[in-house]
Amino acid sequence: MTATTIPIAPIAPYSHRLATATDTKAIAPLWQAFAAERESIDPSMLVKPNFDFEKYVTSQIEKPLSFCWLLEHGDSIIGCLFIYYYDEAPPANLPEYLIQQHNINNPFQTRRVGSVLGMYVQPEHRKPEAIQMLAQAAIAHAKTMKVSDIDLLIAADQSGMQAMLQRAGFTKAAVQYTRHYDIATDAELPSLHPPHPELPDVELPTPIAIPLRHPQTNELLRNSQEAPVFLMPLVDDKGELLKSSSGQHIYPELLLDPATNSWVIDAEDKLVACPILRDENGEIVENQGLVQFSRPAYQIVDGKPALMRDETGNYVFCDVERDKQGKILKTPDGFPIFKQPQIQIRTYA
C-alpha cells in the first residue's frame, strides 16, 4: 500500500521512499536474500523450494495496512523494510458473541500496534547512517498511524540494530530462544490443529457454499424441512458473483437474533442477511480490507433487546450518516457511522 512519503532527510548517496507495485521485481531478490540469511542463522526457518518471492512481495504491498520502505543508492534499490499495522481490539461491527469470545480469551488491554515483517540491506551498503534513515522513516510513519506500541523481533546476531533501537528509546521486552528438532519422514504426527467436529456427509450445492452451524451448539443448521442450510456468496442483479477489492468472494453478514443467539431464518426458509453497504457512487464500502454491512436496529421488549421490525414485519436496519454530498461519515478508524433509530420499549403483560 502507498502513502505520503515521510519527510526524513536523505543521506547522500542514499535515499528512501515507499514501494509501489512496480517495484516488486526489484524487491523480490532482496527478500529472497533476506530469507536465505534468516535460514542460515535459524535452523527452524527453512525456505520452501521454488518459493515465488515476487508473488509474496506483491501480496504484501497490496495489503491495506502493509507498507514497504525502499533504500536506494542512486537509481538502484539496495534495501527494503516491510512494516505492518494491526489493532488488537475487535472491529466495532463484529457480532456480539464474537466480541464476547475475544474478551474471554484476551486478558491484556488492547493496543494499536506497528510491527516489522523484516528488513534487508545488501551487505556492501550496510552502513549505520543508511540503515538508521530507513528505520527512522518507518518509525515516523508509525506515529502518523497513531499506534500505541511498536513491537519488533530482532535477530540475535544484529547487535548494531539492537543498540540503535535502545538509543531510540526501545526497551528489551523479551528474549526468544529456539531449538530445532528433525522429525522422521515416516513418523506418525499427532494433529496440532484445534479440535473441531467432523462435518457430516453433506452434498454442497456449489463448491463455494459453506455449511452453517448453530453458533451455540455447533450442530449443523437445518431449515424447517430438516435440510442443511448453506451460506452462499453474494451476487449482483445479473447473477454475477460480487468480489471484494482483493478479489475474494463476498459472503453475507447474517442477522443474529439476540433472544435465541441463532441465525434468523424467515418464513420462506431463507437466511436473513444484513444489507451490503455502498457509497455515494454505488461502490461496495470496505474498511481495512473488510466489506461493510448495515447494522440491525433493536428495540427493548420486556427489558431485553430484540430485533426491530416495521409495520409489514420486515427487519429494520440502521441507515448511515452522510454529508451534504452523500458521502458516508466515518469514525477515525474508518468505520461507517450509523444513525441510531429511536429505541422502542415495549412491555407485554
Across 75-91, average pLDDT:
92
With 0.75 as the threshold, say if the pTM is over it: no
Concatenate the DSSP letters of all residues of 66-107 into one string: EEEEEEEETTEEEEEEEEEEEESSPPTTS-HHHHHHHHHH--
Summarised one tens digit per residue, pLDDT across range 118-158 is 999 999 999 989 999 999 999 999 999 999 999 998 887 78
Second CATH level (architecture) for the domain 14-167: 3-Layer(aba) Sandwich (3.40)
Q: Where do the domains of the chain lie?
A: 14-167
DSSP helix/strand/coil, 330: strand
User: Pick from 256, 262, 276, 267: which is nearest to 314 by CA?
Assistant: 267
**Of 155 and 68, which is predicted with more confidence?**
68
In this predicted structure, the answer to whether residue 3 has a pLDDT above a threshold of 70 is no
The CA-based diameter of the chain, rounded to the nearest angstrom, is 82
In this predicted structure, the answer to whether residue 7 has a pLDDT above a threshold of 90 is no
Query: Which pLDDT score is estimated for 118?
Result: 93
Q: CA angle 61-64-68, nearest 5°?
A: 35
% of the chain residues with pLDDT over 70: 89
Cα–Cα dist 327/314, whole Å: 27
**Residues 154 and 102: beta-carbon distance below 8 Å:** no
Across 231-255, average pLDDT:
89
What is the torsional sign of CA 41, 29, 12, 124?
Answer: positive
Query: Which pLDDT score is estimated for 349?
Result: 41
Across 63-88, average pLDDT:
93
Sort 279 into a burial class: Cβ within 10 Å, 0-12 / 13-18 / 19+. Answer: middle
Across 90-118, average pLDDT:
84
